[in-house]
Structure 1
């Protein structure tokens, strides 16, 4: 299937070739064009996706109608709206391809089947969810307790090389600032 997917899950669990084949079987390769919407606010999220190549923006529209980027997903990252997927509620998130991209998608039904037939997969996603919770906590603490300068430096560290793939507006949206203020930060740090 995909060596990138194998490398990703091998960080958490060990699978034989046959077990990996069984794990990878329900995933479906989907291709998205730049600016194509993968998930739209109000729709129900029915998938988890593993990014093989490309870049995605996961965001919501705040009450003023401005985009607030939660995270960017590049090669080796996962995309979903976990609240919508798990609780079967309309999504408040949007997921958009920022580049032509390829994703391995798995439905909740197929993932639940893997949980039942392959106990180590439940362990895999438990560990991944714990890592995601840690990342979310760090993101909240950064947004609420750090200056924009420090958030920008953290962004550069967390997403090395990604800034060249994004617009200044997209980076500013992630940082929770205007693109004009981001320009000032960049000049100051140079």
Structure 2
């Protein structure tokens, strides 16, 4: 079971709203959704969790690029919502790898000639590129200035979003949308 909510920081404190992610396909879509929650370009946090498996925090400050933290990348990779957060940049992948040079025949063989070693190397490289690390990825300092240190964020497991909301002073507003 998934839960997703937006927490927008305003002059009066935090405002929460639950959100449907069914129409969100990319991180850009998610950032736009967050920006819509705060017309004054205040800080907006998108909190996503899958019970007892993983949680993610996306922070959007005005028009800046979103900052992301995911508690367990491997678990999130098995989730459609997690896949939105696990960008190539976040996972340290080169998004352009494997396009132009792979199209050229630079493996030392003639066209049509088989080279089993080159084929095996391509398979191994593809597997390594698709590997997703177990454990946290992203910006663990995402909430430092809001009262949740890197160490605290990385140590959260069950009920992580509630603990984050408590540290922010937003637990009551988060519970209203849960």
TM-score between both structures, scaled by the size of structure 2: 0.30
Give the structure with higher Rg (CA). 2
Return the structure number with greater helix share: 1
Q: State TM-score, norm by structure 1.
A: 0.29
